[in-house]
Chains A and B, each alone.
Chain A
Amino acid sequence: MSAYDIVRIARSGSRPTGADYVRSIFSPFIELHGDRRFSDDAAIFAGIGMLGKQPVTAIAIDKGHDTAERTKRHFGAPEPEGYRKALRLMKEAEKFRRPIVTFVDTSGAYCGIDAEERGQGSAIAENLWEMMDLDTPILSILIGEGGSGGALALAAADRVWMLENSVYSVISPEGCASILWKDAGKAAEAAEGLKLTAEDAARFGIVEEIISEDGLGGKAFYNRLGERIGRELEALMEDSGLLQRRYDRFRSFGRKYTEKR
């Protein structure tokens, strides 16, 4: 399967969305709304839920299933308010030392005049700045598209996992091809060059685990994933050197993938 085939699968409208994961894995679950500053961005589906006996703050980017829902959630491209809502809930989780699980699936942060004027760049920067010092475990799972800064703003985590057919990229293959080769038709080539698959990410050390898509969206799939998340959170909750390890995790790539000359 080519990299671009995987991109197509990652984008497919038939995949489970972020909210499906949250509702299936955490029970009971209470949805919480709003950034307490301006509005409630429906692209972010978030709240508190139970994973066994452990309360967890779950935050998902949700693309929506049908046209009405997709419009409401603007296709899972969060506005600045979405990132601020996520950050508010993450700070709340820190206060109660509740672990955080994020489900990431976005083509990127919302691209619009209002989003720019309300500080899209600033909102993402603030999330990164805060997440790198947030004293509670964070586990992020890329379930479909991991589109650039808009995805990273919910994935500056202690552990990052990717679904088998998800992708993680600094730019869309189409965008890359049109900028580099003035030809969006060369997207497949760009996808190959960008090394954006889960396997690539694992090879670079950017993700710790690739999640098998066997039975994707079925009961057994969610049970298996829920159990796996539970075990990981338990281990992370006991780690007293969490923040240093999170720092080193993101610090390592620049060291590993540069040269001294």
Chain B
Amino acid sequence: MPRLKFLFKPQNELEKRGRKAAPLYGEPEKTCPNCHCTLTVKALEETYGVCSCGYHFRMGARERLAFIADEGSFYELFADIRSADPLSFPGYQEKLRKAEAVSGGNESVVTGTCTIKGEKCALFIMDSLFMMGSMGAATGEKITRLFEYAAGNDLPVVGFTVSGGARMQEGMLSLMQMAATSAAVRRHSNKGLLYLTVLTDPTTGGVTASFAMEGDIIIAEPGATVGFAGARVVEQTTRQPLPKGFQTAESMLEHGFIDAIVERKDEKEMIRLILSMHRREDSERI
């Protein structure tokens, strides 16, 4: 059957035919990958990077931090932990330096504490600008430490995920971070503390298969790609056309793997509300 092109909206990375989802900042103007309208960065800043058609542009960790944490409330932790290139992997050092320059950070995650509309929490935000949020040993170490810190200080954890998965250049050491982070999440959970994850575009691979899916409450941004194996790999392996909306937040919701889809403009209030419902009287003092 011929595809009715004018009715067809791209639903995932693969359907976009390999076009890269647009990051929010960098150039003065952006073209929306969904409706193809042109938007100025200034206009996008006012809508938190959301096009009038509803498309959510990717946000770098620093931009998201400014959007989500109350002004002046963020206290960064573990900022000095960096990858040591443990395998001496060919070309990795250069990739790291480039990622540092592009993202303005040391690693693919920013960790610390902050308040969100007055609610105190430990916060991690993964960074799509740093090697597409891939998880190396330093990424895992920072997230693990954040959960340990939060467990020690009776704090809930709010985490924004974006990741292409475990980082190839650190081989099995990046793989081990899936277990290390899971262990720290579990210990934090065993103390009766809340962990809220916000899945953003794209959350895939080893991050999906560990701490991204371990939240007590899991919410996602509209249209975010969420899955384990890459869509292209699934299509090539199965030689079947992918169903519409495959590996989107909407499909994850339908299949029962996430709690809710929340638009970016409502995110802060939703997080505040959830945190307030899990406030612990004995943690008021902190």
Contact = CB atoms under 8 A, between A and B. Distances in A.
A260 B86 CA distance: 14
B233 interface: yes
A121 B168 contact: no
A170 B182 contact: no
A193 interface: yes
A206 B172 contact: yes
Contacts of A156: 179, 182
Interface in A198-236: 200-201, 204, 206
Interface stretch (B35-43, B51-59, B206-214): B206-214
Nearest to B241: A113
Interface residues of A, number: 55
B206 A116 contact: no
Contacts of A152: 175-176, 178-179
A171 B168 contact: yes
B104 interface: no
Interface string A124-141: 111011011100000000
Contacts of A122: 208-209, 213, 257
B166 A148 contact: yes
A97 interface: no
Interface stretch (B16-24, B67-75, B117-125, B138-146): B138-146
Given A116-B229, A149-B228, A132 B82 contact: no
Given A111-B237, A122-B257, A258-B82, A170 B186 contact: no
Contacts of B257: 119, 122
Contacts, number: 196
Interface residues of B, number: 65
Interface stretch (A39-47, A54-62, A86-94, A248-256): A248-256
Contacts of A238: none
Contacts of A131: 179
A170 B210 contact: no
B234 A113 contact: yes
Contacts of B208: 121-122, 125
Contact of A113 (B174, B185, B240): B240
A179 interface: yes
Given A133-B190, A254-B138, A258-B141, A121 B212 contact: yes
B79 to A, nearest CB: 10
A201 B140 CA distance: 18
A113 B138 contact: no
Contacts of B210: 124-125, 128, 149
B168 A120 contact: no
Interface stretch (B1-9, B242-250, B260-268, B272-280): B242-250
B187 interface: yes
A194 B168 contact: yes
B178 A128 contact: yes
A186 to B, nearest CB: 10
A168 interface: yes
Contacts of A195: 87, 171-172
Contact of A169 (B106, B171, B204, B255): B171
A13 to B, nearest CB: 19
B66 interface: no
B11 interface: no
A132 B183 CA distance: 5
B209 A121 contact: yes
Interface string B127-168: 000000000011011001000000000000000000000111
Interface in A148-201: 148-149, 152-153, 156, 168-171, 175-176, 179-180, 189, 193-196, 200-201
Contact of A258 (B83, B171, B175): B83
Nearest to A133: B186
Interface in B77-111: 80-84, 86-87, 89-91, 106
Interface of A: 109, 111-113, 115-122, 124-126, 128-129, 131-133, 146, 148-149, 152-153, 156, 168-171, 175-176, 179-180, 189, 193-196, 200-201, 204, 206, 246-247, 250-251, 253-255, 257-261
12 contacts: A111-B234, A112-B234, A121-B227, A121-B228, A125-B214, A128-B210, A146-B172, A156-B182, A169-B171, A250-B179, A259-B83, A261-B82
Q: Which 4 A-B pairs have the closest CB atoms?
A: A254-B141, A121-B208, A121-B228, A128-B182
Interface of B: 80-84, 86-87, 89-91, 106, 137-138, 140-141, 144, 166-180, 182-187, 190, 204-206, 208-214, 226-229, 233-234, 237-238, 240, 242-243, 246-247, 251, 255-257
Given A133-B190, A149-B205, A194-B172, 6 more contacts: A109-B209, A113-B246, A119-B255, A200-B172, A251-B180, A255-B141
